[in-house]
Structure 1
Amino acid sequence: MKITLRTSVLLSVLTVSGLMSLAAPAQAQRVCVVTRYNQVSCTNRDDYRYNRRPLRVRQPIRVRVGVRQEVRDVYEDVLGRDADRRGLRDWSRTVIRQGNSLDDVREGIANSDEAKNRINDIYRDVLGRDAEPEGLETWTGALEDGESLDDVRREIQESDEARSRNP
Protein backbone atom coordinates (compact mmCIF):
# COMPACT_ATOMS: atom_id res chain seq x y z
CA MET A 1 0.00 0.00 0.00
CA LYS A 2 2.82 2.37 0.90
CA ILE A 3 4.63 1.67 -2.37
CA THR A 4 1.48 2.18 -4.38
CA LEU A 5 0.77 5.55 -2.75
CA ARG A 6 4.30 6.78 -3.47
CA THR A 7 4.09 5.52 -7.03
CA SER A 8 0.79 7.31 -7.63
CA VAL A 9 2.17 10.55 -6.13
CA LEU A 10 5.26 10.22 -8.31
CA LEU A 11 3.14 9.60 -11.41
CA SER A 12 0.96 12.61 -10.56
CA VAL A 13 4.00 14.85 -10.21
CA LEU A 14 5.43 13.59 -13.49
CA THR A 15 2.12 14.11 -15.24
CA VAL A 16 1.73 17.66 -13.91
CA SER A 17 5.32 18.56 -14.81
CA GLY A 18 4.81 17.02 -18.27
CA LEU A 19 1.74 19.15 -18.81
CA MET A 20 3.62 22.22 -17.64
CA SER A 21 6.43 21.53 -20.10
CA LEU A 22 3.88 21.21 -22.89
CA ALA A 23 2.40 24.58 -21.89
CA ALA A 24 5.78 26.35 -21.90
CA PRO A 25 5.98 26.89 -25.68
CA ALA A 26 2.54 28.46 -25.62
CA GLN A 27 3.69 30.89 -22.95
CA ALA A 28 6.70 31.91 -25.03
CA GLN A 29 4.60 32.93 -28.02
CA ARG A 30 4.15 36.60 -28.80
CA VAL A 31 0.60 37.88 -28.75
CA CYS A 32 -0.22 41.29 -30.24
CA VAL A 33 -3.45 43.26 -30.06
CA VAL A 34 -4.30 46.10 -32.45
CA THR A 35 -6.37 48.88 -30.89
CA ARG A 36 -8.59 51.34 -32.65
CA TYR A 37 -5.95 54.05 -32.00
CA ASN A 38 -3.44 52.46 -34.38
CA GLN A 39 -1.45 50.98 -31.53
CA VAL A 40 -0.20 47.43 -31.39
CA SER A 41 0.40 46.07 -27.91
CA CYS A 42 2.43 42.90 -27.61
CA THR A 43 3.09 40.55 -24.74
CA ASN A 44 6.78 41.45 -24.79
CA ARG A 45 5.71 44.93 -23.65
CA ASP A 46 6.73 46.77 -26.83
CA ASP A 47 4.21 49.22 -28.24
CA TYR A 48 4.19 49.87 -31.96
CA ARG A 49 2.29 52.40 -34.00
CA TYR A 50 1.37 51.99 -37.62
CA ASN A 51 -0.11 54.33 -40.16
CA ARG A 52 -3.16 53.88 -42.34
CA ARG A 53 -1.20 52.44 -45.24
CA PRO A 54 -0.92 48.65 -45.41
CA LEU A 55 -0.01 47.43 -41.94
CA ARG A 56 3.64 48.45 -41.74
CA VAL A 57 5.03 48.21 -38.24
CA ARG A 58 7.43 50.99 -37.28
CA GLN A 59 10.20 50.92 -34.73
CA PRO A 60 9.13 50.99 -31.08
CA ILE A 61 8.62 54.56 -29.88
CA ARG A 62 11.46 54.34 -27.36
CA VAL A 63 13.86 53.24 -30.13
CA ARG A 64 12.98 56.30 -32.24
CA VAL A 65 13.48 58.63 -29.27
CA GLY A 66 16.82 56.95 -28.49
CA VAL A 67 18.04 57.33 -32.07
CA ARG A 68 17.12 61.01 -32.11
CA GLN A 69 19.08 61.58 -28.92
CA GLU A 70 22.08 59.75 -30.36
CA VAL A 71 21.93 61.90 -33.51
CA ARG A 72 21.75 65.03 -31.31
CA ASP A 73 24.85 63.80 -29.48
CA VAL A 74 26.70 63.30 -32.77
CA TYR A 75 25.84 66.85 -33.84
CA GLU A 76 27.11 68.25 -30.55
CA ASP A 77 30.27 66.15 -30.72
CA VAL A 78 31.16 66.71 -34.38
CA LEU A 79 29.81 70.20 -35.07
CA GLY A 80 29.76 71.68 -31.57
CA ARG A 81 26.10 72.65 -31.82
CA ASP A 82 22.55 71.36 -31.43
CA ALA A 83 21.03 69.49 -34.33
CA ASP A 84 18.75 71.54 -36.54
CA ARG A 85 15.26 70.19 -37.08
CA ARG A 86 15.78 69.02 -40.65
CA GLY A 87 19.15 67.40 -39.99
CA LEU A 88 17.79 65.60 -36.94
CA ARG A 89 14.84 64.30 -38.94
CA ASP A 90 16.86 63.24 -41.98
CA TRP A 91 19.71 61.53 -40.11
CA SER A 92 17.30 59.79 -37.71
CA ARG A 93 15.37 58.43 -40.69
CA THR A 94 18.51 56.98 -42.23
CA VAL A 95 19.01 54.95 -39.08
CA ILE A 96 15.40 53.98 -38.40
CA ARG A 97 14.12 53.37 -41.93
CA GLN A 98 17.21 52.57 -43.97
CA GLY A 99 19.11 50.65 -41.32
CA ASN A 100 22.24 52.81 -41.37
CA SER A 101 24.37 52.78 -38.25
CA LEU A 102 25.17 55.74 -36.04
CA ASP A 103 28.75 55.38 -37.27
CA ASP A 104 27.42 56.07 -40.79
CA VAL A 105 25.66 59.17 -39.44
CA ARG A 106 28.83 60.33 -37.72
CA GLU A 107 30.85 59.78 -40.90
CA GLY A 108 28.34 61.73 -42.98
CA ILE A 109 28.27 64.67 -40.58
CA ALA A 110 32.06 64.66 -40.16
CA ASN A 111 32.49 64.85 -43.95
CA SER A 112 30.01 67.69 -44.34
CA ASP A 113 31.06 71.13 -45.52
CA GLU A 114 30.04 72.51 -42.15
CA ALA A 115 32.42 70.20 -40.28
CA LYS A 116 35.26 71.08 -42.64
CA ASN A 117 34.51 74.78 -42.15
CA ARG A 118 34.61 74.29 -38.36
CA ILE A 119 38.01 72.62 -38.63
CA ASN A 120 39.22 75.45 -40.87
CA ASP A 121 37.94 77.99 -38.31
CA ILE A 122 40.02 76.26 -35.64
CA TYR A 123 43.08 76.49 -37.91
CA ARG A 124 42.47 80.22 -38.38
CA ASP A 125 41.94 80.83 -34.64
CA VAL A 126 44.90 78.78 -33.46
CA LEU A 127 47.40 78.84 -36.34
CA GLY A 128 46.37 82.01 -38.19
CA ARG A 129 45.98 80.23 -41.52
CA ASP A 130 43.63 78.00 -43.51
CA ALA A 131 43.89 74.24 -43.17
CA GLU A 132 45.72 72.42 -45.93
CA PRO A 133 43.87 69.51 -47.62
CA GLU A 134 45.89 66.89 -45.71
CA GLY A 135 45.07 68.56 -42.41
CA LEU A 136 41.37 68.67 -43.23
CA GLU A 137 41.48 65.00 -44.14
CA THR A 138 43.31 64.09 -40.94
CA TRP A 139 40.94 65.95 -38.62
CA THR A 140 37.84 64.86 -40.53
CA GLY A 141 39.02 61.29 -40.01
CA ALA A 142 39.51 62.01 -36.31
CA LEU A 143 35.91 63.25 -36.07
CA GLU A 144 34.72 60.12 -37.88
CA ASP A 145 36.65 57.95 -35.43
CA GLY A 146 34.96 59.43 -32.38
CA GLU A 147 36.92 62.52 -31.44
CA SER A 148 34.95 65.66 -30.73
CA LEU A 149 35.49 69.10 -32.21
CA ASP A 150 36.85 70.15 -28.79
CA ASP A 151 39.38 67.29 -28.96
CA VAL A 152 40.47 68.47 -32.41
CA ARG A 153 40.89 72.05 -31.14
CA ARG A 154 42.92 70.87 -28.14
CA GLU A 155 45.21 68.72 -30.31
CA ILE A 156 45.81 71.54 -32.79
CA GLN A 157 46.57 73.92 -29.89
CA GLU A 158 49.12 71.41 -28.57
CA SER A 159 50.83 71.01 -31.97
CA ASP A 160 54.41 72.17 -32.52
CA GLU A 161 53.22 74.78 -35.01
CA ALA A 162 50.80 76.30 -32.48
CA ARG A 163 53.43 76.32 -29.72
CA SER A 164 55.99 78.00 -31.97
CA ARG A 165 53.43 80.62 -32.98
CA ASN A 166 52.33 81.35 -29.40
CA PRO A 167 55.33 80.76 -27.09
Structure 2
Amino acid sequence: MGLAIATLTILAAIAPSANAQERCQRTEGYTLCFDRDWLRYYTQPQTTLDWQTYLRTRIPPDASDYYPEIDRIYRELLERAATERELERWAHAILAGLSLTELRRTLVQGEEVEARINGIYQAILGRDVDEGGLQTWRRKLAEGSSIADIYEEVSSSEEALQRRQDSP
Protein backbone atom coordinates (compact mmCIF):
# COMPACT_ATOMS: atom_id res chain seq x y z
CA MET A 1 0.00 0.00 0.00
CA GLY A 2 1.39 3.37 -0.89
CA LEU A 3 1.59 5.91 1.88
CA ALA A 4 3.29 8.47 -0.34
CA ILE A 5 2.38 11.76 1.31
CA ALA A 6 0.58 10.49 4.35
CA THR A 7 1.23 11.65 7.86
CA LEU A 8 0.59 9.66 10.96
CA THR A 9 -1.11 11.06 14.05
CA ILE A 10 0.41 9.59 17.15
CA LEU A 11 -2.12 8.77 19.81
CA ALA A 12 -1.66 8.91 23.56
CA ALA A 13 -1.65 5.11 23.68
CA ILE A 14 1.80 5.15 22.07
CA ALA A 15 4.06 6.01 24.96
CA PRO A 16 7.60 5.08 26.08
CA SER A 17 6.27 2.50 28.51
CA ALA A 18 4.14 0.77 25.88
CA ASN A 19 4.98 -2.75 24.80
CA ALA A 20 5.66 -3.67 21.15
CA GLN A 21 1.99 -4.25 20.36
CA GLU A 22 1.02 -0.79 21.61
CA ARG A 23 3.79 0.90 19.62
CA CYS A 24 2.30 -0.11 16.28
CA GLN A 25 -0.18 1.91 14.28
CA ARG A 26 -2.52 -0.36 12.31
CA THR A 27 -4.87 0.42 9.47
CA GLU A 28 -6.59 -1.72 6.88
CA GLY A 29 -3.60 -1.63 4.56
CA TYR A 30 -0.50 -1.45 6.73
CA THR A 31 1.10 -1.67 10.14
CA LEU A 32 3.73 0.88 11.14
CA CYS A 33 5.82 0.21 14.27
CA PHE A 34 8.44 2.33 16.01
CA ASP A 35 11.21 1.56 18.44
CA ARG A 36 11.99 3.28 21.74
CA ASP A 37 14.44 5.69 20.09
CA TRP A 38 11.59 7.14 18.09
CA LEU A 39 9.32 7.25 21.12
CA ARG A 40 11.72 9.54 22.98
CA TYR A 41 11.01 12.20 20.37
CA TYR A 42 7.31 11.69 19.75
CA THR A 43 5.45 11.08 22.99
CA GLN A 44 3.07 14.02 22.96
CA PRO A 45 -0.57 13.16 22.19
CA GLN A 46 -1.72 14.31 18.76
CA THR A 47 1.83 14.95 17.49
CA THR A 48 1.87 14.70 13.71
CA LEU A 49 4.77 12.86 12.14
CA ASP A 50 5.84 12.88 8.52
CA TRP A 51 6.90 9.24 8.63
CA GLN A 52 8.79 9.36 5.31
CA THR A 53 11.06 12.13 6.57
CA TYR A 54 11.55 10.26 9.84
CA LEU A 55 12.49 7.04 8.06
CA ARG A 56 14.87 8.85 5.69
CA THR A 57 16.65 10.72 8.46
CA ARG A 58 16.63 8.21 11.33
CA ILE A 59 17.17 4.85 9.63
CA PRO A 60 20.31 4.54 7.53
CA PRO A 61 19.59 3.19 4.05
CA ASP A 62 20.73 -0.25 3.00
CA ALA A 63 22.22 -0.79 -0.46
CA SER A 64 19.35 -3.09 -1.41
CA ASP A 65 16.89 -0.23 -0.78
CA TYR A 66 17.97 1.19 -4.14
CA TYR A 67 17.65 -2.03 -6.17
CA PRO A 68 14.09 -1.38 -7.42
CA GLU A 69 14.96 2.12 -8.71
CA ILE A 70 18.18 0.93 -10.34
CA ASP A 71 16.35 -1.95 -11.99
CA ARG A 72 13.61 0.41 -13.24
CA ILE A 73 16.23 2.63 -14.87
CA TYR A 74 17.86 -0.38 -16.54
CA ARG A 75 14.51 -1.54 -17.89
CA GLU A 76 13.71 1.94 -19.26
CA LEU A 77 17.09 2.46 -20.88
CA LEU A 78 18.20 -1.05 -21.83
CA GLU A 79 14.95 -3.03 -21.81
CA ARG A 80 16.47 -5.60 -19.51
CA ALA A 81 16.82 -6.23 -15.81
CA ALA A 82 19.97 -5.10 -14.04
CA THR A 83 22.23 -7.97 -13.06
CA GLU A 84 22.94 -8.57 -9.40
CA ARG A 85 26.47 -7.25 -9.90
CA GLU A 86 25.11 -4.07 -11.50
CA LEU A 87 22.57 -3.61 -8.71
CA GLU A 88 25.28 -3.93 -6.06
CA ARG A 89 27.72 -1.67 -7.88
CA TRP A 90 25.25 1.16 -8.44
CA ALA A 91 23.58 0.85 -5.02
CA HIS A 92 26.94 1.31 -3.30
CA ALA A 93 27.69 4.27 -5.57
CA ILE A 94 24.35 5.81 -4.54
CA LEU A 95 25.16 5.26 -0.87
CA ALA A 96 28.44 7.07 -1.53
CA GLY A 97 26.57 10.07 -2.97
CA LEU A 98 25.67 9.33 -6.60
CA SER A 99 22.13 10.45 -7.43
CA LEU A 100 19.66 8.41 -9.49
CA THR A 101 19.76 11.20 -12.08
CA GLU A 102 23.54 10.86 -12.31
CA LEU A 103 23.19 7.08 -12.63
CA ARG A 104 20.74 7.54 -15.50
CA ARG A 105 23.05 10.05 -17.24
CA THR A 106 25.99 7.67 -16.88
CA LEU A 107 24.09 4.73 -18.38
CA VAL A 108 22.79 6.89 -21.24
CA GLN A 109 26.38 7.59 -22.33
CA GLY A 110 27.25 3.88 -22.46
CA GLU A 111 27.81 1.64 -25.47
CA GLU A 112 24.80 -0.52 -24.61
CA VAL A 113 22.39 2.41 -24.98
CA GLU A 114 24.09 3.42 -28.24
CA ALA A 115 23.65 -0.14 -29.53
CA ARG A 116 19.94 -0.10 -28.57
CA ILE A 117 19.35 3.20 -30.38
CA ASN A 118 21.29 2.00 -33.41
CA GLY A 119 19.25 -1.22 -33.40
CA ILE A 120 16.04 0.82 -33.51
CA TYR A 121 17.33 2.80 -36.48
CA GLN A 122 18.40 -0.38 -38.29
CA ALA A 123 15.04 -2.09 -37.68
CA ILE A 124 12.87 0.87 -38.66
CA LEU A 125 14.94 3.02 -41.02
CA GLY A 126 17.41 0.46 -42.37
CA ARG A 127 20.42 2.59 -41.47
CA ASP A 128 22.72 3.50 -38.58
CA VAL A 129 21.87 6.42 -36.33
CA ASP A 130 23.82 9.59 -37.16
CA GLU A 131 25.75 11.46 -34.48
CA GLY A 132 23.15 14.23 -34.18
CA GLY A 133 20.33 11.73 -33.74
CA LEU A 134 22.33 9.76 -31.18
CA GLN A 135 22.97 12.87 -29.10
CA THR A 136 19.29 13.91 -29.30
CA TRP A 137 18.12 10.50 -28.10
CA ARG A 138 20.72 10.36 -25.34
CA ARG A 139 19.51 13.74 -24.10
CA LYS A 140 15.89 12.58 -24.15
CA LEU A 141 16.79 9.38 -22.30
CA ALA A 142 18.69 11.39 -19.68
CA GLU A 143 15.60 13.57 -19.23
CA GLY A 144 13.34 10.58 -18.56
CA SER A 145 12.32 9.03 -21.87
CA SER A 146 12.64 5.29 -22.37
CA ILE A 147 13.93 3.15 -25.24
CA ALA A 148 10.28 2.29 -25.96
CA ASP A 149 9.57 6.03 -26.37
CA ILE A 150 12.40 6.30 -28.89
CA TYR A 151 11.06 3.31 -30.81
CA GLU A 152 7.64 4.96 -31.03
CA GLU A 153 9.06 8.33 -32.10
CA VAL A 154 11.34 6.85 -34.76
CA SER A 155 8.49 4.63 -36.01
CA SER A 156 6.24 7.64 -36.49
CA SER A 157 8.91 9.87 -38.05
CA GLU A 158 8.54 11.18 -41.60
CA GLU A 159 11.53 9.11 -42.67
CA ALA A 160 9.92 5.91 -41.34
CA LEU A 161 6.58 6.75 -42.98
CA GLN A 162 8.33 7.44 -46.30
CA ARG A 163 10.27 4.17 -46.05
CA ARG A 164 7.05 2.22 -45.46
CA GLN A 165 5.39 3.90 -48.46
CA ASP A 166 8.40 3.13 -50.67
CA SER A 167 8.49 -0.54 -49.64
CA PRO A 168 6.73 -2.95 -52.03
Instruction: Provide the TM-score with structure 1 as the length reference.
Output: 0.63
Contact 2:74 2:82 in 1 (8 A): yes
How far does residue 92 in structure 1 lie from its aligned partner after superposition? 1.1
Counterpart CA distance in 2 for 1:147 and 1:44 is 40
Sort the Cα spacing of 1:43 and 1:143 in 2 relative to 1 into closer, same or farther, 3 A. Answer: same
Question: Unaligned 5+ residue runs, structure 1?
Answer: 1-26, 28-40, 48-57
Give the match for residue 106 of structure 1: 104
Give the match for residue 10 of structure 1: none
Give the match for residue 49 of structure 2: none
Counterpart CA distance in 1 for 2:134 and 2:89 is 25
How far does residue 88 in structure 1 lie from its aligned partner after superposition? 1.3
The within-5 A match list for 1:12-161 is 43-44=37-38, 59-61=60-62, 64-96=63-95, 98-161=96-159
Give the match for residue 12 of structure 2: none
SS for the counterpart of 1:153 is: helix
Percent sequence identity over aligned pairs:
31
Which amino acid in the other structure matches residue 160 of structure 1?
E
After superposition, the C-alpha distances for 1:25-82 in whole angstroms (9 at most, x for unaligned) are xx9xxxxxxxxxxxxx7613889xxxxxxxxxx9334xx3331110000000111100
After superposition, the C-alpha distances for 1:70-104 in whole angstroms (9 at most, x for unaligned) are 000000011110001221111111111x2111000
Counterpart CA distance in 1 for 2:36 and 2:102 is 31
Counterpart CA distance in 2 for 1:87 and 1:60 is 18
Higher helix share: 1
CA RMSD of aligned residues (A): 2.2
Counterpart CA distance in 1 for 2:121 and 2:127 is 6
Which amino acid in the other structure matches residue 143 of structure 1?
L
Counterpart CA distance in 1 for 2:78 and 2:36 is 39
By relative contact order (CA 8 Å, sep 6+), the higher-ranking structure is: 2
| Structure (1 or 2) with the larger CA radius of gyration | 1
Question: Unaligned 5+ residue runs, structure 2?
Answer: 1-15, 17-34, 40-53
Counterpart CA distance in 1 for 2:101 and 2:77 is 12
SS for the counterpart of 2:38 is: coil
Which amino acid in the other structure matches residue 155 of structure 2?
Q
